[in-house]
Amino acid sequence: MKSAFGAPRRDENDTGAFAAGACREVAVFRALQLGDLLCAVPALRALRRGFPHARITLVGLPWARRFAARFTRYIDDFVAFPGAPELPEQSADVAALPAFFTDMRARRFDLAVQMHGDGTHTNAIVGRFGARWNAGFTRPDRAPSDRRLFVGYPARMHDVRRNLRLVKAIGMPVDDESPEFPLSRGDFEELATLRSAQTLLDRPYVCLHPGARNPAKRWPAERFARLGDALHARGYDVVLTGCDAERPITHAVASAMRAPCVDTASPISVGGLAALLAGARLLVTNDTGVSHVAAGLRLPSVVVFFATDPAQWAPLDRTLHHAIYDPAGVDVDRVLGHALALLAAHAPGSGGNERRRRRSPR
């Protein structure tokens, strides 16, 4: 398919010399979902350290405006990307593309960073931003011949480290891989409106997140149910989490459980869900964005993998987060064993409990 974007623009007056100190306007293109953006936070933090006085603009899917508002330490502005026929993350509004690219060029970016895949389609998109310098990933067989800062796409590297490799090539310090998910007062105020969660505030509870955008990533509902029964038998309230669209999934788990549980699937935002997770003792989840929220909260978690590669997507702290992988299917006893080990190691007052219970900011 022919690209809707044409060839990247080249500035023949460009000296070809990248000068980090000259970058006052920086764009980062990453039009992806929650987990992908949370994996980019260490790279965004490194860009801020390297460009402390630059205006950093995130270009992403429309939902990510809320993400940018949460990470204002690293992001100064946000532009919604209308989509592209070549990219599957959203339906493309092709009619909006000319105005989008006109706006991008009017911003006169000094540096545009393509942080979205191997560049097969996205390098052409970012090239149309009209930045003085472009940087990003590229496939080995498509190394650019012009004066741009590109690195080969390390397909099997963990996504956090992959993004850090890119900003290191730009010249940024990359000594901090730690995840983040800052909470606000508004997150806890939203949680307070969720009636189903009010009985949990002073009781030990664990969260089970049985949903995932990709059905292939979902551990079967009946296995979540068996796990929930086993955890309830050991004294924990069981909370099912999910967005409004995941209500059928949490309902299936609740219906299969013998023990009582609290089903909180609702139109709650990611921030409100994070506030709920912040009071939990443990999360058990599929490989989805919520696992990276837990990593940012330092909430112990068990992440079930069978359709994706934990070497690329599991939280990096393998003491706090246990990734279980089996392409043939993960059994309940195995997940339960890991869950109980984490609950014991990070129980209140235990030597391994480094995470304080989070409450609303004062």
Structural domain includes residue 177: no
Count: domains in the chain: 2
Question: Tokens 């730009």 appear where?
Answer: 170
| CA pair distance 122, 116, nearest whole angstrom | 7
Q: Do 224 and 330 belong to one domain?
A: yes
Contact between residue 218 and residue 249 where contact means Cβ atoms under 8 Å apart: yes
Confirm if 244 and 265 have CB atoms less than 8 A apart: yes
H or E, element range at 47? helix 41-50
Query: pLDDT at position 199, please?
Result: 74
- Provide the 8-state DSSP code for 235: T
- Domain co-membership, 25 together with 78: yes
Per-residue confidence (pLDDT) for residue 352, from 0 to 100? 57
Distance from C-alpha of 42 to C-alpha of 283, rounded to nearest angstrom: 22
Q: What is the pTM of this model?
A: 0.90
Residue 13 resides in a domain: no
Q: Are residues 147 and 284 in the same domain?
A: no
**In this structure, which amino acid lies at residue 211?**
G
* CATH code for position 91: 3.40.50.2000
The reply to whether 4 falls in a domain is: no
Q: State the angle between helix axes of 332-345 and 221-233 in degrees (0 to 180), rounded to the nearest 10.
A: 40
Asked if the structure places residue 81 within a domain, the reply is: yes
Q: How much is the pLDDT for 1?
A: 45
Asked if the structure places residue 9 within a domain, the reply is no
Beta bridge partners of 78: 58
**103 and 57 assigned to the same domain:** yes
Residue type, 40: A
Within-domain flag for 124 = yes
Tell me, yes or no, whether 244 lies in a domain: yes
Each residue's pLDDT expressed in tens, for the chain with a length of 362 residues = 444 544 334 443 443 456 667 899 999 999 999 999 999 999 999 999 999 999 999 999 999 999 999 999 999 999 999 999 999 999 999 999 999 999 999 999 999 999 999 999 999 999 999 999 999 999 877 655 444 689 999 989 999 999 999 999 998 889 999 999 999 999 999 999 988 777 776 789 999 999 999 999 999 999 999 999 999 999 999 999 999 999 999 999 999 999 999 999 999 999 999 999 999 999 999 999 999 999 999 999 999 998 889 999 999 999 999 999 988 889 999 999 999 999 999 988 665 555 444 444 43
Q: Give the span between the Cα atoms of 105 and 216, in whole angstroms.
A: 39
pLDDT of residue 22: 80
* Token output for 258: 């013998």
* Position 304 in a domain: yes
Mark whether 64 and 189 lie in a shared domain: no
C-alpha span between 323 and 287 (Å, rounded): 9
Please give the residue range of the domain that contains residue 34. Answer: 20-170
Same domain (yes/no): 163, 309: no
Q: 263 near 251, Cβ under 8 Å?
A: yes
Query: Which residue, chain included where needed, has tokens 């946000």?
Result: 78
pLDDT for the residue numbered 160: 98
Same domain membership, residue 62 and residue 194: no
Report whether 118 contacts 155 (CB < 8 A).
yes
